[in-house]
Chain A
Amino acid sequence: MDTQQRDIPCTEPETLFLYSEGLLEPAETREVAAHLAACPACRERYLVEAEFSVSLRALPLPAPGADFAAGVGDRIRAGMRSRTPQWWWLAAAVLALAPAGLWLAAGGASATGAGVALIDFVVSLVRWPLVLAGWLSSAQGWADLGSAAEALLSAVAASPAYLATCIAAAVIVAVCTNTLLYIGARRALILKR
């Protein structure tokens, strides 16, 4: 048996490391263990490996103060409190500025252009629900309102500023809607926290 063990070459540093970390396959583990039992030099190397790990574990690395976690918690809660109203102010500002933005979008055009933009904006908002309601209920009154809206749209379509104001209105509506959706999502997330 001794002869067999002496035939095994001295363990490579990496193999010895993997052995000390328990990372070798069972067959290799048995092989190294048998060699260590027979080779004092490798056994000494193995013991140093183990001692090395113990020394590393005991190193005095910097550690946080006693109030570190509480500080993180306070910072998170303070952030939640301060962020929520900010978003509501932003939402209010966007809503308040929407008509002004509409007016500005029609800028360069005449006062009629701005007026058309405003009418178009309002009509486009009410038109489709009215037409849909009329269609659903088949009530003549609602259908008439829808037709009136259609007629109004046709009338303003004659204005030269129509296309520009339509685009501006669409952009503004899109911006407002997306902003509100974003605020809603953000607020839901903040409240969730």
Chain B
Amino acid sequence: MEAALMRIAVGGSADRSDQELAERAVSGDTRAYEQLVVRYQRLVYHVLWSRGGDPQEIEDLAQETFMRAWERLHTYDPAQPFKAWIARVAGNLAIDHYRARSRRPILVELPDEETAPLQGGEADPALVAQALDDQRGLLQALQQVPPLYREALVLRFVEDLPYDEIATALDLPLGSVKTRIFRGRELLKQRLIAAGRETATASGA
């Protein structure tokens, strides 16, 4: 009964804006904060997934993200979208986590890769279109793209964040975000076609 009442209370704040919920949370309303968690838990999961890690690790880091965000909520500027702020908290937490574990998936900067010409030129659109039918193959290809590109792609195309919000989330200039997303897409297309070719070879052999 108590749990049901609690859910009603949480549901009552469903139509409030992120900024309003954040202001209530700063003044001690944990239910308002819970509503923000409901709104952005998927986004945080996806950011953490794009940074690597197994399902358990993603869940632990997602919890830590929201705990850290709660502790630092007074630093959140309501003029900025909460979505971009929480994505940044998650991304920074993942960087700290993997750096502490001395694992490789996190690269803070990719200066050469940002400016160097793409290898292999443009992927054949016909082959890309063909490969898009295989959703699992697309997911696997995305996992092979370097994490920083992957995160930008996920924020843009899975989470549908506008470019300026991605710039805030990744703490990058707008131009770099556009370049990173374009290059990430091209890399993904190349991986996708390569995977399709390998599958065709394996089934032909």
Contacts and interface: CB of A to CB of B under 8 A. Distances in A.
B58 interface: yes
Interface string A26-68: 0000000000000000001100100111011111111110001
A45 B186 CA distance: 13
Interface in B158-205: 158, 160, 163, 178, 181-182, 185-186, 189
B139 interface: yes
Q: How large is the interface on B (under 10, 10 to 19, 20 to 34, 35 or more residues)?
A: 35 or more
A129 interface: no
Given A51-B129, A73-B34, A61 B154 contact: yes
A73 B30 contact: yes
B192 to A, nearest CB: 9
Interface string B54-65: 010011001100
Contacts of B33: 73, 76
Contacts, number: 103
B125 interface: yes
A25 interface: no
Q: How large is the interface on A (under 10, 10 to 19, 20 to 34, 35 or more residues)?
A: 35 or more
B128 A52 contact: yes
Contacts of A58: 135
B37 A51 contact: no
B138 A59 contact: yes
A62 B55 contact: yes
A45 B193 CA distance: 15
A25 B49 CA distance: 34
A85 interface: no
B110 interface: no
Given A70-B34, A76-B67, A51 B158 contact: no
Interface stretch (B13-21, B38-46, B89-97, B98-106): B38-46
Interface stretch (A10-18, A140-148, A154-162): A10-18
15 contacts: A18-B178, A48-B129, A51-B132, A55-B138, A56-B157, A56-B158, A57-B157, A57-B160, A60-B139, A61-B46, A61-B139, A63-B45, A64-B42, A68-B41, A76-B70
Interface of A: 13-14, 17-18, 21, 23, 44-45, 48, 51-53, 55-64, 68-73, 75-77, 79-80, 191-193
